[in-house]
Structures are given as C-alpha cells and as structure tokens.
Copies of this chain bind each other. A is one copy, B any other.
Amino acid sequence: MTPDEVQGFLTMGTRTGKLAIVRRDGRPHVTPIWFAVDGDDVVFMTHHTSSKAHAIRRDRRVAMVVDQETPPYAFVLIEGEVAVSEEPDELLHWATAIGGRYMGAERAADYGRRNGVPGELLVRLRPRKIIAKSGIAD
C-alpha cells in the first residue's frame, strides 16, 4: 500500500485499532481503541489509570494493528513510540474528533465534552515502522 492507501485503510469507517502493550509482569496485553490519524501519527485517548497508561509510563514502545476482517483480508501494523499530552485544548479537540468518527458527527460535541477532561491522556503514536499487507488470501 502507498502512504495514502495506508491512511485510507486506517481511517475507513469505524475500524478500531488493536493496541498491544506489555504488562508489568511481562505478559502481553491487547485492547481495542478508538483512534484518529493526524498527519503521520495515530492519536487516541486513555484514562490515566488504565492498563495502557501504566504500560506506556514504563515503556513507550507499542504496536497497533487495524485489519479488514473479510476476504481477501488485509492489515496495517504500526510499531512505534508514544508521547502523552494533557493539554486541555488538545484533549477536547481529539476527544471531539474521535467521538465523531465512532459515534457520528451529531454526537461528536457530547463525546468531546465528556472525554476531553482532566484525567484523560492524549496519546500520540509516532510510527517507526509500518507493515501493510493486502489481498492476503488471494
């Protein structure tokens, strides 16, 4: 996939990301996340008490995959490091954008007000490596 195709794949509809981190005891962990794309970065939110928040305080390295679950199947895997922001304007902006993506434009402002608040973290994943495979079953 070209960079534009990767971006189109990531932002299609309400596809979720599956974010992998490592727990304190060394076990892997993976959860679905709602995310947006900002230039080359992936941005998502998490509460500061979540497993994800604890994990990225210990180690900034994460991996995220987005896939197409129907034939011929495809996926984009992003490996990289995260940076965290608690800046209120940025929280509100991205909580609104992400709410709009996953719940529809008419509910975006509600989600922004609810999630763009202190205690939430804006996490920015800067890709170091992107692996994209399409037509896996062809």
Contact = CB atoms under 8 A, between A and B. Distances in A.
A102 interface: yes
A73 B22 CA distance: 24
Contact of A63 (B28, B64, B103): B28
A59 B23 CA distance: 13
Nearest to A30: B20
A21 to B, nearest CB: 5
Query: Of A21, A31, A71, which is in contact with the most chain B CB atoms at under 10 Å from its CB?
Result: A31
Interface string A30-57: 1110000000000000000000000000
Interface string A53-91: 000000101111101011101010101000000000000
Interface residues of A, number: 33
Interface string A8-20: 0000011110111
Given A14-B69, A16-B69, A103-B71, A28 B137 contact: no
Nearest to A74: B32
Contact of A28 (B14, B61, B70): B61
Given A70-B14, A71-B14, A30 B63 contact: yes
